[in-house]
A and B are shown apart, each in its own frame.
Chain A
Amino acid sequence: MEEPPLREEEEGEEEEEEEEGDEAGPEGALGKSPFQLTAEDVYDISYVMGRELMALGSDPRVTQLQFKIVRVLEMLETLVNEGNLTVEELRMERDNLRKEVEGLRTEGSAAGREVNLGPDKMVVDLTDPNRPRFTLQELRDVLQERNKLKSQLLLVQEELQCYKSGLITPREGPGGRREKDTLVARTSKASSNKEEKTIIRKLMVTSFPWYTQGDSTAELRDSSRPERRGKLHNPGFTHSASRETLAPLMPVLNAILAEPSIRGS
């Protein structure tokens, strides 16, 4: 390799100098900075010097000097080539580093906000269907709602079982229930959630036609308020048959409804 290939992104400064060198002809090589010498310059120099030596004639001292000069020029050539190889390596390394920095910059700007958020923050991809969407409080509420519904379901199942095993009969149901249940439903109306009541009532009506007269879950919900804990089964099921039959489960369910303890933060 006589001349290191010039890189396109070479700084203009360097190119200018080389052009100057070219314009100055072989003599110009001698005016160059030693750090910018190429093998080509060394050949130019040897050409200039050879020409001048020749002009000195055939004196044997000149011939002796000529050998030494050739040797020095060869040494120079080697050094220049080597130096240029090193420079080339350094350039390549620099270019690689440049590319790396470039890459990091584009990545960084994409994730720029994230990087600046700090250690406890994260970025949510809004296009990800599995991204987190709910707050902790919402999850808490959902769980409490689920617990409530589950306990009501258990109650219904229990009642169904009573019914199946003949502990409550449909005939027995409405008569004893009617007046007191409507009363309970009325008193609890203020505190109860309307929508939820409808669902539960539907559920109850499907399973037990006599529930149309009242809403047995109203008491359950109502009595889940902490100040009434411990008295639950007392104002609870008012119909004697169901009060007897469902009594074991009532306090358990009421306790479920009161979870998690309100005192907890």
Chain B
Amino acid sequence: MRSSLTPLGPPVSRDRVITSFPKWYTPDACLQLKERFHGQVSTTCQRKNTGTVGLRHSKVVVVGDLYVGKTSLIHRFCKNVFDRDYKATIGVDFEIERFEIAGIPYSLQIWDTAGQEKFKCIASAYYRGAQVIITAFDLTDMQTLEHTRQWLEDALRENEPGSCFVFLVGTKKDLLSGAACAQAEVEAVRLANEMQAEYWSVSAKTGENVKAFFSRVAALAFEQSVLQDSERRSSARLQVGDGDLIRGSPPETQESTTSSGLGCC
């Protein structure tokens, strides 16, 4: 049931509807362990107090060495395809994926950057304003894991400290035996903790964990957006004439003052 104030949009496909909070991949390297949306978020969403929330999106930037499978991962998720042939990304590309999270429309703007050194100066212009940074490496090539440090550093440099969720993703899981994968994951989890990142192993080829991963990304980003918005709105309440973003939403809610952004993690 939607209120008339909620923008409708064309229907979101079934598997983009997130009702319960998606789980982590491994508790050894995850951004948060809770299995439900933050209380504040549930309240806000139930009340359909989403004059702005409904219009929100997050910017996701995917970085990592060439050939690790960034484009493949994104294409598997957004288009459900896999191409065995390598076609290097020129500079940068993007996809938009729409979700419905806790009843609220939400979009991910996913930026696929080129791993090739020669495009770095172009791609890095797109790092700014990322809410999520995904650093990808190839599980079969541990050197690419080592390089994720540098990729992350470069991406973080363009953003406010502490403003980004970081994910570390090992790709091409299908190419490894269970044992070999577990071995690679030990290293990766260690690095993920160092980077304060959440770790995931995925396969674009088989699709394993791809949807679960992006759902997790979307949910975490969404939740943070809602919380930050409540905070912003409560602090902006006194400022008159901040007419933007308000589309017939009711006046600010009382509880938003109490949020103060705690308890996210």
A→B interface (CB under 8 Å) = 136, 139-140, 143, 147, 150-151, 154, 158, 161-162, 165, 167, 230-231, 233-234, 244-253, 255-256, 259-261, 263-264
Contact = CB atoms under 8 A, between A and B. Distances in A.
Main secondary structure of the interface of A (DSSP, over half): helix
B122 A247 contact: no
B96 interface: yes
A216 to B, nearest CB: 16
Contacts of A230: 244-245
Given A139-B122, A143-B91, A233 B10 contact: no
Nearest to A143: B91
B8 A231 contact: no
Contacts of A255: 57, 59, 109
A233 B249 CA distance: 14
Given A230-B245, A233-B247, A249 B94 contact: no
B175 interface: no
A82 B90 CA distance: 69
Contacts of B10: 158, 161-162, 165, 167, 245
A151 B110 CA distance: 12
A249 B96 CA distance: 9
B92 A248 contact: no
Contacts of A154: 96
Contacts of B56: 251
Interface residues of B, number: 31
A263 B128 CA distance: 9
Given A136-B122, A234-B244, A245-B9, A251 B90 contact: no
Contacts of A244: 7-8
Interface in B67-94: 90-92, 94
Contacts of B245: 230-231
A42 B74 CA distance: 90
Nearest to B4: A244
B92 A252 contact: no
B98 A248 contact: yes
A147 to B, nearest CB: 6
B7 A248 contact: yes
